[in-house]
A and B are shown apart, each in its own frame.
Chain A
Amino acid sequence: MALKFVRAAVTVAGLTLATGATASECIAPANPGGGWDFTCRQVGKSLQDLGLIDSTMQVVNLAGGGGGVAYAEVVNKRMEEDELIVAASAATATRLAQGAYPGNTMDEVRWLATIGADYGVVAVAADSAVQTLPELLDQIKSDPTSVSVAGGSAVGGWDHLKVLIAANAYGIDDVRSVKYIAFDGGGEAVTQLLAGSVQAFTGDISEAKGFVDSGDIRVVAILSPERLGGDFADFPTAKEQGVDVIGANWRGFYAPGGMSDEAYDGWVAKIAELYASDTWKEVMANNGLAPLDLQGADFEAFVADSVAQIQQISKEIGIIK
């Protein structure tokens, strides 16, 4: 038994050593297993598979403050590094907009590129009488206490904001009256929809897909600019139902603010090449990621826009002053 252990240990150690000569590093601002961790690992692996980086990208988990600890670490201590990227998503922008990273703002780092987006959906249980988004919003309008909407993010988080933006666009004046119940993740929220505890679900398309396929829930609206392809073609957009809302949970990276232009352009080019590759198309298809192709200056502008938009909505509904 002991001999076997030694052999196993040596095998593993060998593997780690062989791939362990690291040049680049990716910070996942959460514990292993979450979305950001996954972004780092999946991109790191694909970059290496494609030969865009020479050695394995080292993934470092720096959890805390919903990404705030990592953000502060990069801004305060690692501003000048060229071989460092950090995973980010719409949640990062939301928190920055709401001032949830105390003392930090979005222009302290350089935004690199996106690797795809997860569009928001609004869904009801299959046996619900509600068929369309306007029907649901009408119900909320006439009696807000009768509809509980479940989502996987905290109050004021992205899943919540999506519903509020939709309600706002539909002409519900006091969006604060919309009853939102926060659960620990989209899966738990869908389960409570099935259990009948709540009447509607707001989340990302990837969270809802399995339950749509099985016929347990019905998507009343997808918050994308136009209908998606493939399996998702049946979902009506909010826009075509007269509610002008787009909600995309993008995934991407930022880099230290002091990164040299040369290194910054290098990373942007690498991620752009990754995004264009067939390997990545497959990863996106597997994970329910929809296309969102923004790099360099375009991405910087996009983040700035969404921060401004979230700030405005958050002020309107009173989450921030």
Chain B
Amino acid sequence: MDIFTNLADGFATALTFQNLALALLGTFLGTMMGALPGLGPANGVAILIPLAFTLGLGATPSLILLTSVYYGAMYGGRISSILLNIPGDEPAMMTCLDGHPMALKGRAGEALSLSGVASFVGAFLATWGLILLAPQLVKFALLFGPAEYFALFALAFATLGGVSSTNQAKSAFAAMLGLGLAVIGVDTQTGVPRLTFGEVHLYDGLDFLVAIVGLFALSEVFIFLEHRHGSADAGKSAATKIGRITPSWSMLKATTPTMLRSSALGFIAGVLPGAGASLGSFISYSFEKRLKDRDGTFGKGDPRGVAAPEAGNNAAAGGALVPMLALGVPGSGTTAVLLAVLLSLNITPGPLLFQNNADVVWGLIAALFIANFMLLAMNIPMVGLFTRLLMVPPRILMPIVAMVSFVGIYGISGSSFDLLVMIGFGVMGWVLRKLDVPLVPIILGTLLGNTMENNMRRAVTIANGDYGTLVGSPLAISLWAVAIIGFVLPLFVGRLVKARMHARRDTESSTSD
């Protein structure tokens, strides 16, 4: 087999002492940056580019270092999601939903190690997908024109209701708030500023990192201030119990189908340029919930709700490398940065990359495997260490979280204005949490809003103003069909489930695995 000879060559390139050391360094720094709110994979990679240059690394070692950071950050985001209910980066947002409730039940250790395993499975399968399917996948991505992208994003929003709280109107409100915030800035289609009120800082729009850190991290700080939880170490007594730090076999077995399904979904979402890891973890979670949430345990600490988004977002991270390598099109912020690195190393990604720079590509793929195994080996034993974080009393932990959030944002944009916007989001997040409005749709809206609108407008403009083009291809029609089913079905099923839950609420105490 050609592939295996190539892969063997790749491993021969990657398995030097220097490269292994770089992979270890990269995975560690990546995990750390992923876990710190405000620093995500994109910034993590960008920050370490100078290091790669300073060390005078060649093409393959540089890529090994930076992709290790990338995969590491995808792993790391889950840590703060589970322990603090604050997503370390945007794809880890969905992990909060079930990960933190697990931690509150004293199962933080299990949640962390299970999510580590799920991350591994997702990334591992995605790397194989990258090897075996890259050429075919490129053709698949080319089926997506502007109209199909619009349908895909509509699908994501149609399934929102199932993910978050009970009140559909509040989910819709949150989604529209997010989309509305995404509109702010210079309109890329016509160049006119929209809703900027003449403020030059707003011309580039709101950075979703600012939004996510404000909404999640700062609002958490406000909630602590409100209850003055600080001194009361007993206030979170359940959380300080770490529980077992490895998942039981039965739990792994129960979540295996979840991981496999989510990996496939996440990978596909990653392959489509512009969709990326956040959409991957989101779709994985909502699909899994649709499919398996018979007893309403999702959102209350169901292990499958932890496994699904983690497998999904790590698979998407691998998937996003497909369009980057084969088309030179970044599927996410991080791959955009990696693309810049490739260009600066005299490697032009594109259709000929696999022929012209085979050694680099296969070395990179081997590095992905190595980084992935390293992350698994590093993450499982370190679960115990991470969970110690919960021993720190909140009166000390929360101010640190707030300050790290500020620094993360300021260090990247260098702008006080962004900090003020972040505080605004923090206050808004606090109020909305009080009113039981889910925050996830807001982030999803700010993340996808621009792409969604632009694709709709591109499609209609190409068709000379004919809105019919939005349902003009078989692929678009099928996506709309899934979206409509996803929106309508839970309205009926939801009622059924609620009725059943009522019936058994008294008799059953929930054990979710």
Neighbour of A65 across the interface among B42, B201, B330, CB < 8 A: B201
Main secondary structure of the interface of B (DSSP, over half): helix
Tell me the minimal C-beta distance from A7 to chain B in angstroms. Answer: 9
How far is B343's CA from A194's CA once the two chains are assembled, in angstroms?
21
Q: Look across to chain B and name the residue whose beta carbon is closest to the beta carbon of A12.
A: B51
Assess the A64–B349 pair: CB atoms within 8 A: no
Does B233 count as interface, using CB distance less than 8 angstroms? no
Chain B residues, CB < 8 A from A148: 461-462
Assess the A210–B191 pair: CB atoms within 8 A: no
Neighbour of A182 across the interface among B50, B51, B189, B198, CB < 8 A: B189
A 1-13 binary contact with B (CB < 8 Å = 1; else 0): 1101100100110
Chain B residues, CB < 8 A from A12: 25, 29, 51
Chain B residues, CB < 8 A from A185: 329-330, 336
Neighbour of A32 across the interface among B29, B47, B51, B189, CB < 8 A: B47
Neighbour of A179 across the interface among B348, B352, B415, B461, CB < 8 A: B461
Chain A residues, CB < 8 A from B53: 41, 45
Contact flag A181-B329 (CB < 8 Å), given A68-B203, A197-B146, A216-B351: no
Which residues from 53 to 94 on chain A have a C-beta closer than 8 Å to any C-beta of chain B?
56, 59-66, 68-69, 72
Q: Which of A34, A101, A148, A182 has the most CB of B within 10 A?
A: A182
How far is B42's CA from A235's CA once the two chains are assembled, in angstroms?
36
Assess the A210–B349 pair: CB atoms within 8 A: yes
Assess the B188–A65 pair: CB atoms within 8 A: no
Count of residues in A whose CB is under 8 Å from the partner chain = 67
Assess the A69–B200 pair: CB atoms within 8 A: yes
Chain A residues, CB < 8 A from B34: none
Count of residues in B whose CB is under 8 Å from the partner chain = 68
Neighbour of B25 across the interface among A8, A63, A156, A181, CB < 8 A: A8
Assess the A187–B329 pair: CB atoms within 8 A: yes
Contact flag A33-B143 (CB < 8 Å), given A12-B51, A64-B413, A214-B351: no
Which residues from 305 to 353 on chain B have a C-beta closer than 8 Å to any C-beta of chain A?
323, 327-330, 333, 336-337, 339-340, 343-344, 346, 348-353
How far is B27's CA from A5's CA once the two chains are assembled, in angstroms?
11
How far is B378's CA from A188's CA once the two chains are assembled, in angstroms?
37
Q: Please name the 10 residue pairs, one residue from A and one from B, whose CB atoms are nearest each other, closest first.
A: A210-B350, A32-B46, A214-B351, A33-B337, A286-B346, A197-B145, A65-B203, A187-B329, A156-B191, A65-B200
A selection of 28 A-B contacts at a CB cut-off of 8 Å is: A2-B385, A11-B25, A12-B25, A32-B49, A33-B42, A33-B45, A33-B46, A33-B337, A56-B54, A61-B412, A63-B412, A63-B413, A64-B201, A64-B413, A69-B200, A155-B188, A183-B458, A184-B451, A187-B329, A187-B330, A187-B339, A188-B274, A190-B327, A191-B323, A191-B327, A194-B327, A195-B143, A210-B352
Task: Identify 6 new A-B residue pairs, CB closer than 8 A, beyond the known A8-B24, A32-B337, A155-B189.
Answer: A32-B47, A66-B186, A154-B191, A155-B191, A182-B188, A210-B351
